[in-house]
Amino acid sequence: MQNLIERAAQAIRRSRKTIALTGAGISAESGIPTFRDPGGLWDRYDPEEYATIQAFRSDPAKGWPMMKDFTELKTAKPNPGHHGLAQLEQMGMLHCIITQNVDNLHQAAGNRDVIEFHGNMRQVVCMSCRKLLPLDEISLDTLPPYCSCKGVFKPAGVFFGEPIPVDAMYRSQEAAQSCDLILVIGTSTVVYPAADIPRISKDLEKKPKYNSVNLCHIKRYGGRREVLSYSPKESGAQVIEINPEKTDLTQRISDFIIQEKAGVAIPQIVAAIKAMAS
């Protein structure tokens, strides 16, 4: 294990651009159950019945009690995994985080560049005028809550069947294509399109690059456009997973996996980077 921690630390030190993709697992040590944990939210509420946009539209009053029940979201605090990523950003070694989480804990830990792929459940959005408010600024005494424009408020997380926010999608793809190292932390990588992100980082075919090296290629090869679809790197970005369990990525995409809890592994990686620098 120590070997892999040092390997990850070394890879981050050498990387030109490291990004992180995080999932429910990084918040598990903050007391928020993951999707598939026994006793978690989805054991109590069938996602088909409660978490699809179609279900919410047809009966918003039915979907809201689940949101009220997601109390862990309101009280949870960042854990050492979140704090470790914030430190990496402060050290200039983490470009951005793409998170599937809706709990705001990366921001609470101090990360400034967090792309919220699935929105944020600590906010609500009016389905009519799109006004965005913090959840604790509206009353949940009567459900569903209404906006002053008479539209229904919906939690600002992305429901199943809703599109990914355009800005988050665009920025994530750009980050995935331009990084040379991606840390994939606490995600089973089964929810798409988020699960595509490490694959985009790894796969040269999907990496359109428009940098100076490629421009040289255009000149040399008379502007053949297909040359543009290759990165100057020999292979795609390095993919390092941090997850106690193996995932779909582990055998086919990841360079290696640190099979440990994020709250244990990330602080150790930060400590190893500091030790290497001193």
Q: Which is nearer to ligand NAD, 11 or 73 (CB)?
A: 73
Residues 6+ apart with CB under 8 A from 106: 22, 78, 82, 85, 86, 97, 99, 114
Closest to 259 measured CA to CA, from 273, 275, 247: 247
Residues 6+ apart with CB under 8 A from 120: 102, 104, 156, 157
User: Using the rule CB under 6 A, which residue among 6, 10, 17, 35 binds ligand NAD?
Assistant: 35
Residues 6+ apart with CB under 8 A from 23: 34, 99, 100, 101, 185, 186, 187, 188, 189, 191, 194
Q: Alpha-carbon distance 87 to 271, whole Å?
A: 10
Torsion of CA 65, 67, 73, 75, to 10 degrees: -40
x/- mask, ligand NAD, residues 137-176, rule CB under 6 A, reads ----------------------------------------
Q: With binding defined as CB under 6 A, does residue 95 bind ligand NAD?
A: no
Q: Which is nearer to ligand NAD, 89 or 103 (CB)?
A: 103
Q: With binding defined as CB under 6 A, does residue 254 bind ligand NAD?
A: no
**Residues present in the chain in total:** 278
x/- mask, ligand NAD, residues 230-249, rule CB under 6 A, reads ------------xxxx-x--
Contact 61, 146 (CB under 8 A): no
Minimal distance, residue 234 CB to ligand NAD, in Å: 30
Minimal distance, residue 195 CB to ligand NAD, in Å: 8
Query: Which residue number places its CB atom closest to ligand NAD?
Result: 25
Q: Alpha-carbon distance 8 to 136, whole Å?
A: 39
User: Using the rule CB under 6 A, which residue among 4, 19, 28, 182 binds ligand NAD?
Assistant: 28
Q: Which of residues 41-70 bind ligand NAD (CB under 6 A)?
A: none
Q: Alpha-carbon distance 95 to 100, whole Å?
A: 17
Active site residues: 118
Q: Alpha-carbon distance 82 to 263, whole Å?
A: 8
User: Using the rule CB under 6 A, which residue among 82, 118, 122, 202 binds ligand NAD?
Assistant: 118
Task: Point out which residues pair with 152 in neighbouring strands.
Answer: 146
**Full DSSP string of 151-178:** PBEEEEEPPBTSPPPHHHHHHHHHHHHH
User: Using the rule CB under 6 A, which residue among 188, 201, 231, 238 binds ligand NAD?
Assistant: 188
User: Using the rule CB under 6 A, which residue among 15, 18, 34, 201 binds ligand NAD?
Assistant: 34
Number of Cβ within 10 Å of residue 254's Cβ equals 22
User: Using the rule CB under 6 A, which residue among 20, 25, 115, 236 binds ligand NAD?
Assistant: 25
User: Using the rule CB under 6 A, which residue among 100, 123, 201, 238 binds ligand NAD?
Assistant: 100
Minimal distance, residue 137 CB to ligand NAD, in Å: 20
The window from 25-33, 164-172, 209-217, 220-228 that contacts ligand NAD (CB under 6 A) reads 25-33
List residues near ligand NAD by CB under 6 A.
Answer: 23-29, 32, 34-36, 100-103, 118, 186-188, 190-191, 242-245, 247, 261-263
